Structure 1
Amino acid sequence: MRRASALAAALSLAALLAGCTREEPESAPATRSPAQAAWYVSTPEQRESSCDAYRRHDPQHPVAIPPHQSDQTDEEFADDFHEVLKKEC
């Protein structure tokens, strides 16, 4: 009985060590542009409204560009946000 317990403990330890020493592939950190981040934090209603405005291309009802905090200028952010809309809508 003691042998079985010792063997089980040794196998458990070996499995644990094998799992700890196994190299995991390094994944690159996910990077989103500020425009992508603005899209993903918006509500479903805001997304639908943005897509509707984007599809209409109506100058009387333009796409509402969300506020942003980034190093980009307003124009750069707006261009990037339109690219996000092109992809998502």
Structure 2
Amino acid sequence: MNSPIYNEWVEEERREAAEKAAKEAAKEATKETTRNLIKETIDEKFDIVPKSIYDKLAKIDNIDALQSVFKKTLRIDSIDKLEKLLDIILK
């Protein structure tokens, strides 16, 4: 276990694990940032936002879907349409 080859292998494995963890953390941060942007947008557009909207939004785990929802929230003109959109995405 104290051989240079073993130590090099262990260090490489640690580096790869750290890189993977950093990428995953960045993805999660992007998802959370996008969710927050959606929340801020709908809070600004609509006076009352039901908790069910936030609950559905929290269930979306795909970054592409979240980015699509964000773009659509800029154009959506009713809570009902937003809720239908979220229902479609969650199917």
Q: TM-score, normalised by structure 2?
A: 0.28
User: Which structure has the greater CA radius of gyration?
Assistant: 1
- Length-normalised TM-score, structure 1: 0.28
Bigger share in helix = 2
